Amino acid sequence: MFGIFRYVLALAVAFDHLWPFAGGNNIGNFAVFAFYMLSGYLMTLVLNEKYGFDLVGLTKYFVNRFFRIYPPLIFVGFLTLPLLWFIPVNDISPGMKWPATAYDWFKNITLFDIRTTDIRVVPVSWSLFVEVFYYIAIGLVFARRRWITIAWFAASLLYTGYMLYTGTAWYFRYFTIPASSLPFSMGAILYFYKDRISAPSWLLPVAASALAFNYVYWHIVPPPGRFMTGFYLNLALTSVIIFALSKRKSGYYDQLLGDHAYAIFLCHIGLAVAVNALTGAAHGPMLFFATLPFVLLYPFLSTYLIERNLKPLRDRIRPASSPSPISQGRVFRRQRQGLRA
């Protein structure tokens, strides 16, 4: 059921960027950290249950992550460049510009150091650099043992508490790699405890309703609380949703929407710039609803041209599921408990 969740998060980011209403629309900030947490959970899962941590397994894991992240990103960038040639300056995303130097090109293609530039062909690419950083860190260190993940989570929690205690500015609590450690570690730790705790059927709808209420409430009251209590309560509720979803099986439409989520995340600002140039629609409901049909259709194009051709290659790289020592230990404990019973 993670596919529908990812799809909703991608649309939330698009909603934030295209319809910034009075007082600020920060649902995208909430959604990005939810994406990070889900990535932490899924990367820890596939490393422990599919790839493993030997050289061959890690190589396959990193190669597959590369093909998941970069080809769709490069394709969106390729489609966006002609737009930037004809529309060098826009009001929708001022930092969306034609790269000015060779190093700007390098950063936009590789994502390396992309957070330090205001020139991004694909504006959301700064968060992809954070994702890639933690994909590597989780594979090399953080997902190997439960105690390592617990220590990572504890350190992330302490660092976040320190930032809150010292009044650290929002930029450093959101945009930086150290600040992003908390949601990734929360997702990773969920993997190690998901089989130890059962989830009642009512947990998911209650948590989803609470998450929606949390967003609406903190967008009614004055902004400061939105980036403190509201933002971190969002993380707690997101962890409950991911835990509840981990107990549910994925169907065809769930997988389809999940496959479309990344394309929506990448394309929505570029499409909005094009719609703005053609119609004059400024930030707000007109721009959002005029762009939305194209945003929803683009993933079909991306799937046909990119994902469909990459899937056989990624499937060959991806190993068949094989239980890791941790997973084998869980099976052994269940069998032993069954014998005792």
* Model pLDDT for residues 211-233, shown as the tens digit of each residue: 999 999 988 877 778 889 999 99
Quote the mean pLDDT of the chain.
Answer: 91
Residue 154, in any domain of the structure: no
Q: Residue type at 290?
A: A
Residue 172, in any domain of the structure: no
Q: What would the mean pLDDT of 86-110 be, rounded to a whole number? A: 91
- Dmax (CA) for the chain in angstroms is 73
Residue 155, in any domain of the structure: no
pLDDT at 230: 93
Residue 106, in any domain of the structure: yes
Residue 158, in any domain of the structure: no
pLDDT at 90: 85
Q: What is the pLDDT of residues 124-155, one digit of tens each?
A: 999 999 999 999 999 999 999 999 999 999 99
Domain residues for the domain of 286 are 3-145+179-340
Supply 153's token pair. 């989570």
Element (H, E) at 231: helix 229-245
Residue 150, in any domain of the structure: no
Residue 164, in any domain of the structure: no
Note the pTM of the prediction, 2 decimals. Answer: 0.91
Instruction: Provide the domain count of the chain.
Output: 1
Q: What is the 3-state secondary structure (H, E, C) of 105-143?
A: HHHHHHCCCHHHCCCCCCCCHHHHHHHHHHHHHHHHHHC
Q: What would the mean pLDDT of 101-115 be, rounded to a whole number? A: 92
